Amino acid sequence: MHIPDGIVPVQVCAAGYAVTGLITWYSLRQISKQGNPAPQIPKASLLTAAFFVGSAIAIPIPPTTVHLILNGLLGVVLGYFAFPAILIGLFLQSLMLGHGGLITLGLNAAMMGIPALLSYHIFQLRHRLGRNATTPFGIGAFAFLGGFVGLALAALIFLGLVITTIPANFNVDAERTAVFTLMLAHIPLAILEGGFTAMLAVFLQRVKPELLTGK
């Protein structure tokens, strides 16, 4: 679901870099308000590696294949660390796996990072809804929503960007059909990532709750 170089206009890519720069600054500012970030760096590094590896795992969903994104998972577990982690992961994916591109790096980071931050805030809602929301079931439910929304929203942003910027020399109808097919294939993947995020959150809550955001 990465946007490669040459698909969208340069001015859109420039806007993507502007948005990514602003949100990176905001995320780092929020991180600095939380005190010493050093204890969180190993966790962020581990999940950045998981984000990087996820793109290398192809899942066949006929008539196409998709790969794990894990941006919602990063948002749920890392909080504001998720955005810089996704930016670094995308940079490495572009250089080492050929996913996306350096010109569209800012656009891809915003497309995946903004939903990750939304997933973080969805997961934090559990603290405002009473004791029932902080039970294992409640934690799992909010984590599932975070994992699902992270990928689903990224897919919708991808759809909007690609559909509205299809180059004039492309077959517009064929490209739209291909993009819509790809989006439909991401629905079961979003459910899968939501389920995995929920299981991980419940497990961490049981064995090491301080690893969850908001602890």
In this prediction, residues 132-159 reach a mean pLDDT of 88
Domain boundaries, the chain: 10-211
pLDDT of the residue at 2: 84
Tokens of 108: 């891809």
81 pLDDT exceeds 60? yes
With contact defined as beta carbons under 8 Å apart, do 133 and 106 qualify? Answer: no
213 pLDDT exceeds 80? no
pLDDT of the residue at 76: 94
Higher-scoring residue by pLDDT: 204, 184:
204
d(CA 79, CA 123): 9
Q: What is the DSSP letter of 129?
A: S
Higher-scoring residue by pLDDT: 168, 211:
211
Higher-scoring residue by pLDDT: 51, 62:
51
In this prediction, residues 188-202 reach a mean pLDDT of 92
In this prediction, residues 46-53 reach a mean pLDDT of 91
Closest CA to 201 of 193, 190, 209: 209
pLDDT of the residue at 131: 64
89-145 pLDDT, tens digit each: 999 999 988 888 899 999 999 999 999 999 999 999 887 776 655 688 889 999 999
pLDDT of the residue at 110: 96
d(CA 154, CA 161): 11
172 pLDDT exceeds 80? no
- The fold of 10-211 is Arp2/3 complex 21 kDa subunit ARPC3 (1.10.1760)
With contact defined as beta carbons under 8 Å apart, do 139 and 209 qualify? Answer: no
pLDDT of the residue at 184: 78
Residue 39 binned pLDDT confidence (cut-offs 50, 70, 90)? confident
pLDDT of the residue at 135: 83
Long-range pairs for 85-89 at CB < 8 Å and ≥24 separation?
85/44, 85/47, 85/48, 85/51, 86/48, 86/51, 86/112, 86/113, 86/116, 87/20, 87/24, 87/113, 88/48, 89/48, 89/51, 89/52
Residue 215 binned pLDDT confidence (cut-offs 50, 70, 90)? very low
Whole-number percent of the chain with pLDDT over 70: 86
Computed over every residue of the chain, the mean pLDDT equals: 86
In this prediction, residues 80-95 reach a mean pLDDT of 94
How far separated are the first and last CA of the chain, in Å rounded? 32
Closest CA to 67 of 186, 173, 167, 201: 186
